[in-house]
């Protein structure tokens, strides 16, 4: 199921993750760490892949439509495990 959030919300989640989280998520999901970074707004498509996100320009960095929320869900779970909750706007 697709999820829509702002680009700034997505970057905030990335910035709040503990050190090493990108590697942990990549290892758990069996994907390249650059693919995880691309999911959070990176653009290294030489080593990583696109992972089902579409960005529309606009306020708050624009709107991001995530067709696959697996990486987002794992990142939010990591934050929850750290005692950090992220309020998400419902889309």
Which pLDDT score is estimated for 51?
A: 59
pTM, two decimals, is 0.78
Which pLDDT score is estimated for 91?
A: 41
N-to-C CA span, the chain: 11
10-residue mean pLDDT series, the chain (91 residues): 87 92 95 88 60 71 87 93 68 41
Strands 63-66 and 53-56, sheet pairing: antiparallel
Which pLDDT score is estimated for 3?
A: 87
Alpha-carbon gap, residue 57 to 60, rounded angstroms: 9
Which pLDDT score is estimated for 67?
A: 86
């Amino acid at each position: 199921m697709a999820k829509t959030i702002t680009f700034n919300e997505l970057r905030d989640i990335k910035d709040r993750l503990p050190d090493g989280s990108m590697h942990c998520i990549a290892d758990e999901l069996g994907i390249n760490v650059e693919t995880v970074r691309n999911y959070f707004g990176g653009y290294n498509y030489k080593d990583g892949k696109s992972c089902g996100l579409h960005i529309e320009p606009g306020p708050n960095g624009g709107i991001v439509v995530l067709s696959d929320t697996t990486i987002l869900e794992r990142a939010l779970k990591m934050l929850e495990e750290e005692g950090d909750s992220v309020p998400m706007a419902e889309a």
